[in-house]
Amino acid sequence: MLVKFKNTQAYIKNYSEQLIKLLKIEIGRNRTRKYKSGTYTNPIDNTGRLRESIEAIQKMQKEGFSSQIMMNDYGVTVDQGRPIGSEPPYQDIVDWIKSKPVRLRDSKGKFVTADEYRLSKLANNIRRKIGREGIKPTNFIQDAIDNSIEKLNKLGA
């Protein structure tokens, strides 16, 4: 393998690692999104699962090499948002509710047990609201790329 090719491969690997760090920072950063029901400012990955799922995969091939950055599928939806009229899958909402520290209350404000019936009702209500209002994009992927693009541009200089 040519030394120049090895240097390029090492550069791409280092760039991928740097981009992963920036993606993780962007995911943990507070983001503000405005909806009819109010303004919300919070990190986009409270459970840490999205952040933990990000990885770079390098593959050697006969013609050269490739580097891809992978993450859980829902990361793209978090980045791009969900358009009005598009409800998320039911089980994804149930899993999200279970992963959050959600405590359910009855109509009088008293805490109640989160049994399957109540979880089902809550998940369906959330799905319908997302379908009506959509989910605003966070653009965390583009923000990370924008923060790292200067380094990539210097490669040609």
pLDDT tens-digit series, residues 116-153: 999 999 999 999 999 999 999 999 999 999 888 876 67
Mean pLDDT over 38-61 rounds to: 86
In this predicted model, what pLDDT tens digit does every residue of 127-137 receive, in sequence order?
999 999 999 99
The amino acid present at 87, given as its one-letter code, is: E
In this predicted model, what pLDDT tens digit does every residue of 75-113 receive, in sequence order?
998 899 999 999 999 998 998 888 877 888 888 999 998
**pLDDT at res. 87:** 93
Q: What contacts 24+ positions apart, CB below 8 Å, involve 59-66?
A: 64/5, 65/9, 65/12
- How many beta carbons lie within 10 A of that of residue 138, not counting itself? 23
